[in-house]
Structure 1
Amino acid sequence: MSIRVRSIHLAWIVAALTMLALVAGAAFRSTTGALFEPMETEFGWSRSGTSGAVTLNLIVYGLTAPFAAAAMERLGVKRVVLAGLGLTALGSGLTVFMTSLWQLWVLWGLFVGVGTGVMALVFGSIVANRWFVRHRGLVMGIFSGGNACGQLVFLPLIVALAEHEGWRAAALATALVAAAIIPFVARYFADSPHAVGLRPYGEEADNPVPVPAKPQVSPARLALRVLRESLARRPFWILLFTFWVCGWSTNGLIQTHFIPAAHDHGMPATTAAGLLALIGVFDLIGTVASGWLTDRFNPAMLLVCYYGLRGLSLVFVNSLLGPSIEPPLWVFIVFYGLDWVATVPPTAALCREHFGIERAGVVFGWVFASHMVGAGVAAATAGWLRETTGSYHPAWISAAVLCWLAAASLFWLRKAPVPQESRPSPNPVR
């Protein structure tokens, strides 16, 4: 490959392909939440049963991330992403033949959970760290916004397709899209700039970024070793907790339960899905802005603001829902969209600052896993609270309290003593 294609650094081509995979993977994973009601109507399944399948999907998706990151370091990013796309296409395609609830758990919980877990934000973090020096935070913000945008913007399309053609058509569509992306990644993606004789975008000749050594252990051993060593440090626990709360208050609660919660208040499902799509649009703006801010300000203090304001907004959401969309609900949609995953660029930056560029991908993988475990627990808990109390109001309030606790915990996070990417990790994994 040449250094530039039509005067565009190859880093931007790789970033565009990464963005495509992130958006698509997020869209695939959002399908089940949008298809709750048609599946329950056809098969007579309970909300707890379908919520449980989503819980398994979210947890498997999250726990796949650190092992996927380790596999990318050991086997190559392209190979792992291609395998994830293939598994997602297979799991989604086989869904059209299911007749029992356990099959939903296996196909969406395991197959799609693992496949989309490979295309989680840890994938974007590795690409941003490898390919960019200048604008790294901004690029991570774009990746984060695209990921959340894919989760939400495609929901109206999925809901409309399910209403007119049936939920099987929506599931089959995701399988076909996943399969269609495979040849583009196979042809144009590159694992790292050094693999094709380039420098990362923005790297200065007199200040090169160290090239991490390729691990000599299996991906599973690498992931577990990094976890064991990271658990001995306070920053890791704080990042685990805060991102667990992030997952609880976004993917687990709003993404999974906003449509049925709005429907409880008389709002049509298509209208609620459209509001979620708007959250995705504003999220793209908010997360790109967060990436820009992360390049310039203390990421820990940015997170304090994000979690504190998110908690405040959740206190009021139950009173804003109704059959029609009133102005206060528009305020919530815009604000929550701007804040949706604005937490990702600062969190990824803190992983890099405190653990070094060599381990940042796997560390962020474990932190991201906590995000999805929190989302999975929230999906099941909110469903249980709805069945027990007849309302989602307790779920909104509990999420608000958790957000405030996350904001408070960040004051215990001390600043990294030295810039970690200026030198190799003191304990390279071999």
Structure 2
Amino acid sequence: MDSSVKTLRLHYGWVVVLITFVTLLVSAGIRSMPSILMLPFEKEFGWNRGGISGVISIGIFLYGLVGPFSAALLAKFGIRRIMVISLAVLALSLSITPLMKYLWQFQILWGLIAGLGTGMMANVLGVTVSNQWFVKQRGLVVGLLTASAATGQLLFLPMLAKITVDIGWRYAIYTAVGAIVILLVFVAIWMRNHPYDVGAAAYGSEELVKPTPFQGNIFLTPLLTLRSALNNKTFWLLAGTFFFCGFSTNGLIGTHLIPACGDYGIPEVMAAGLLALMGLFDLIGTTASGWLSDRYDSRWLLFWYYGLRGLSLLFLPYALDTSPTALLIFSIFYGLDWIATVPPTVKLASKEFGKEKAGMVFGWVVVAHQLGASTAAYGAGVMREWLGTYTIPFIGAGFVCLFAALMAIRISKASNSLQQAQA
């Protein structure tokens, strides 16, 4: 090993992973809050479910749209600075929320500001951290950081739902603000941008390398990257499958499972507990998916993930209408697959487009994910208003997941052979 490289008993990359994990966890927990605020807002303000769903839809879309530009900002200004700014903006948005009285104020605070703030701390952040700090175990790190999104539901939703039911939704907001402020202090003190900042090589490497300065315009470069990616069949297949991924996860289940349970007389706290249970099993499933993506064909992993998710969604209307046991089975089975699609998707994108472009390319793939999620968040709310039930949206999402499974195996073998050669 180069004598200039410091020997660390615990590689600082794992400290960075821990801080990033907690940040993504808190961000995801806050991003999922509208699902427990939907019913209280209906009662207090008289807003209909379609209007509330529209605000959530805007926030979900902006959360995805900011991803490619977030990758450029992270490269230009550093991970720590962008995380601190994003947390501060999010805390400000939440602090003002208890004062709102009109739907347009909710649109600005949660559709616009919170959407952009959480978007800066999305999956692109995890991809950036894994690419900069790790040579080995990248798939595992991506899986772990991706799983933190569902773990945020595990830790926050039941607690916030109980606070909302017992003493009001405003106190749930204040609790979230307190968590953000504490986290902001930890990020400001201990987060680092690159292994070079602590005099270390990336994990799995023996070479001390200076970070490459960002070249290009932070707004133009992501657009040029998109233009280049649009000529690639693999990009379209990854973006297409991820559209259906978002359609069937945070856009549909993350937004509407709690209101759907309310239609069947299931208490809000219990319904939030089901989402929390999904978060627990997703922590297992997505971390395992990262481990598997380091070892197996990512195309076939995606085939099985989307196929099994589709079957679980077709089972959901039956589970809601029969027994708590059936709903519990759905939560466990679906939870294992909640965001398990991310590590193999990142793996395919990284090998197809290279480490330097992977963050921005994956950011555009996430835009497709959030566009699907936005479509489902709004569409399912409107269909519930028209039909009085969520059955059709749930069944429709099941079938599109089965279609996504077929799309996954059409990703070219040439791309996959490149993946195997470089793994």
* Range class of TM-score, shorter chain: over 0.9
Counterpart for residue 236 of structure 2: 237
Structure 2 unaligned spans of 5+: none
Counterpart for residue 188 of structure 1: 190
Q: 1:16-415 residue pairs with structure 2 within 5 A?
A: 16-204=18-206, 213-322=212-321, 325-326=324-325, 328-415=326-413
Change over 3 Å in CA distance of 1:151–1:222 after alignment to 2 = farther
Kindly provide the amino acid, as one letter, of the partner of residue 101 in structure 1: L
Kindly provide the amino acid, as one letter, of the partner of residue 327 in structure 2: L
8 Å CA contact 1:308–1:403 kept in 2: the answer is yes
The CA deviation string for residues 371-403 of structure 1, in whole angstroms up to 9 with x for no partner, is: 111111100010111111111111011101111
Counterpart for residue 427 of structure 1: none
8 Å CA contact 1:88–1:116 kept in 2: the answer is yes
8 Å CA contact 2:35–2:259 kept in 1: the answer is no
8 Å CA contact 1:139–1:291 kept in 2: the answer is yes
Q: CA deviation at 1:203?
A: 1.5
Q: CA deviation at 1:212?
A: 6.8
8 Å CA contact 1:29–1:151 kept in 2: the answer is no
Q: CA deviation at 1:418?
A: 3.5
Q: Which moved more, 1:39-48 or 1:178-187?
A: 178-187
Secondary structure at the residue paired with 2:412? coil
Structure 1 unaligned spans of 5+: 423-430
8 Å CA contact 2:290–2:343 kept in 1: the answer is yes
Distance of 1:27 and 1:231 partners within structure 2: 33
Distance of 1:79 and 1:372 partners within structure 2: 25
Change over 3 Å in CA distance of 1:420–1:361 after alignment to 2 = farther
8 Å CA contact 2:144–2:290 kept in 1: the answer is yes
8 Å CA contact 1:65–1:369 kept in 2: the answer is yes
The CA deviation string for residues 101-142 of structure 1, in whole angstroms up to 9 with x for no partner, is: 000010011111111111101101110111111211111111
8 Å CA contact 1:153–1:276 kept in 2: the answer is no
Q: CA deviation at 1:214?
A: 2.3
Q: CA deviation at 1:420?
A: 10
**Moved >3 Å (runs of 4+):** 2-5, 210-213, 417-422
In percent, how many aligned pairs have the same letter?
44
Distance of 1:322 and 1:69 partners within structure 2: 43
Q: Which moved more, 1:147-156 or 1:70-79?
A: 147-156
Secondary structure at the residue paired with 1:339? coil
8 Å CA contact 1:312–1:400 kept in 2: the answer is yes
Distance of 1:77 and 1:385 partners within structure 2: 40
8 Å CA contact 1:357–1:421 kept in 2: the answer is no
Distance of 1:306 and 1:383 partners within structure 2: 26
Kindly provide the amino acid, as one letter, of the partner of residue 77 in structure 1: I
Q: CA deviation at 1:151?
A: 3.2
8 Å CA contact 1:265–1:323 kept in 2: the answer is no
Counterpart for residue 8 of structure 1: 10
Q: Which moved more, 1:289-298 or 1:405-414?
A: 405-414
Secondary structure at the residue paired with 1:252? coil
Q: CA deviation at 1:47?
A: 0.3
Secondary structure at the residue paired with 1:45? coil
Change over 3 Å in CA distance of 1:3–1:35 after alignment to 2 = farther
Superposed CA RMSD in Å reads 1.9
Give the TM-score normalised by structure 2.
0.95
- How many residues in Structure 1 have an aligned counterpart in Structure 2? 417
Distance of 1:41 and 1:267 partners within structure 2: 17
Q: CA deviation at 1:369?
A: 1.6
Distance of 2:421 and 2:347 partners within structure 1: 11
Give the TM-score normalised by structure 1.
0.93
Distance of 1:196 and 1:421 partners within structure 2: 31
8 Å CA contact 1:317–1:396 kept in 2: the answer is yes
